[in-house]
Amino acid sequence: MDPFQLIEEGKIKRFFRSRKKLTKANLISHITHRAAGKETLFVEDDDYLFMLSLMKELSNEYAVTIFAFCLMPNHVHLLLKPDHDNLSEFMRDMCGQYARRFNKRYERKGHLFGGPFRQSIVNDDSYLLAASLYIHLNPVNAGLVSDPGKYRYSSLMLYTRDEAPQSFVKPDLVLLVLSDKARERKMRYKELVERGKAVEAGNVLEDEHVIVRFMASLKDNFPFFTRKLRTTATNMPPEEGVTDFENLLSSRKPESKKARKYLVELLLARGYTRTQIAEKLNISRKTVFNILTFRE
């Protein structure tokens, strides 16, 4: 089924998880992390460069693939995928090292980042593309530049320049969504960025539904964005997988218990409450609780 239709019918919901994170290997996430209060994360160019060096070093150490990023004066955006169950450790190490250096350099004390990082699960190609575009257009939406290509601290040039330099950032997964032909991918992405500047995006730090609305606007403005996108983004089961839950529920095999726990976790990540999940799957809240407490 067309993911846009699912969104419009309210069958797919996404929200930013501030507390409990989904850290399973190979899940793609759009991560945001902001400074505490009215603090600034980056004061000088050296601060941005230090964060970039940490991203490069630690993404290699933790086996985290970064698809896109944008470092803003008071917050960061990352589109990434960990190969292992270590997303929280990666973020803790990166932000911790950065904060210690920042506090020492500017003679300040206390928390630099405002609480836990926020996470939105990417579970289809259309959302993957929309999240990437939103990240790269963030400096324009914030009024920092009129041309996102001139903002130094994002990964946009890797998406638009034919002879982009080698980087620890890997744009290919996003670009593959746009075309089977290599020569068309960056051209199309560049077109989306240029025309996307006119789309009212909103602030994802204040409204968790911004990217879904941004995606709907892209659908209205770009015909090729509405075509059926390939499922390169994730190995997650589709929404229709809920219909197979009855068979999973009746099975006592360990792999079935693991599968139904995974499905419930995905529904939580899409914005459903435990009560809504119980109603959707025609089970009790206690059963939902029991499913989530299953240990391999």
pLDDT of residue 253: 74
Domain ranges within the chain, ordered by starting residue: 3-226, 239-292
Whether residue 41 is predicted with pLDDT greater than 50 in this model: the reply is yes
Question: How far apart are alpha carbons 175 and 185 in whole angstroms?
Answer: 6
pLDDT of residue 174: 92
Q: How confident is the model at residue 125 (pLDDT cuts 50, 70, 90)?
A: confident
Q: How confident is the model at residue 15 (pLDDT cuts 50, 70, 90)?
A: very low
Locate 191 and state its tokens.
Answer: 């077109």
Strand order in the sheet with 75-82: 64-72, 75-82, 28-34, 118-122
* pLDDT tens for each residue of 129-147: 888 998 999 999 899 999 9
Question: How far apart are alpha carbons 80 and 229 in whole angstroms?
Answer: 19
Question: How far apart are alpha carbons 34 and 24 in whole angstroms?
Answer: 23
Whether residue 11 is predicted with pLDDT greater than 70 in this model: the reply is no
pLDDT of residue 219: 58
Whether residue 65 is predicted with pLDDT greater than 80 in this model: the reply is yes
* pLDDT tens for each residue of 204-263: 444 455 555 566 666 555 555 544 344 443 444 434 344 455 666 667 777 677 777 777
Task: Return the CATH fold of 239-292.
Answer: Arc Repressor Mutant, subunit A (1.10.10)
Q: Which among 232, 202, 238, 205 has a CA at the least distance from the CA of 217?
A: 202
User: Model pTM?
Assistant: 0.70
Q: Which residue has the higher pLDDT, 257 or 78?
A: 78
Q: Which residue has the higher pLDDT, 178 or 21?
A: 178
Whether residue 113 is predicted with pLDDT greater than 90 in this model: the reply is yes
Q: How confident is the model at residue 13 (pLDDT cuts 50, 70, 90)?
A: very low
Do residues 70 and 153 lie in contact, with contact meaning Cβ atoms separated by under 8 Å? yes
Task: Return the CATH fold of 3-226.
Answer: Alpha-Beta Plaits (3.30.70)
Question: How far apart are alpha carbons 135 and 70 in whole angstroms?
Answer: 6
Average pLDDT over residues 146-165: 92
- Average pLDDT of the chain is 79
Average pLDDT over residues 28-54: 94
Lowest-pLDDT range, 120-124, 130-134, 164-168?
120-124
Do residues 77 and 70 lie in contact, with contact meaning Cβ atoms separated by under 8 Å? yes
pLDDT of residue 214: 62
pLDDT of residue 119: 87
Locate 89 and state its tokens.
Answer: 């450790």
Whether residue 161 is predicted with pLDDT greater than 80 in this model: the reply is yes
pLDDT of residue 158: 95
